[in-house]
Structure 1
């Protein structure tokens, strides 16, 4: 004869009172997020500024004067 008995425990949920649940938090390490060094608006402003400076240099080479003509 072998004793292959299993014990069965019934669940008990109280109708009144407090029910506690102990949760253990574990840390999840995620990959670092790559952030742009410059924002898109800053890059757009820099390109506009560079284009304006290039146009100014080209006009200075051609001899166009921006001062008021009287």
Structure 2
């Protein structure tokens, strides 16, 4: 074999008889991809928003407690 990268295959055509090619298509089934319902950034934003709401509720509760004790 030569050092050339392109290997050449010579064609062979029969002079007698039938030449046919039977191609059968087969489906390739792959595993389904599991996609997250929420993106990571959306989850981070929701956790930040929930944390901010909890802190606001705590501050309001502390303010209400201070007003009731005075």
Q: TM-score range by the shorter chain?
A: 0.5 to 0.7
Task: Quote the Cα distance in structure 1 between the aligned partners of 2:23 and 2:62.
Answer: 76
Scaled by the length of structure 1, the TM-score of the pair is 0.56
The structure with more helix, counted as a fraction of residues: 2
Higher relative contact order structure (alpha carbons within 8 Å, sequence separation ≥ 6): 1
Task: Quote the Cα distance in structure 1 between the aligned partners of 2:11 and 2:33.
Answer: 44
Q: Give the secondary-structure state (helix, strand or coil) at the position aligned to 2:52.
A: helix
Q: What is the Cα deviation at residue 38 of structure 1?
A: 0.7
Scaled by the length of structure 2, the TM-score of the pair is 0.56
> Which residue in 2 is equivalent to 1:13?
11
Q: Give the secondary-structure state (helix, strand or coil) at the position aligned to 2:26.
A: coil
**Aligned-residue CA RMSD (Å):** 2.8
- Unaligned stretches of 5+ in structure 2? 1-9, 13-20, 65-70
Q: Give the secondary-structure state (helix, strand or coil) at the position aligned to 1:63.
A: helix
Tell me whether 1:47 sits opposite 2:20 in the alignment.
no
- Unaligned stretches of 5+ in structure 1? 1-11, 15-20, 65-70
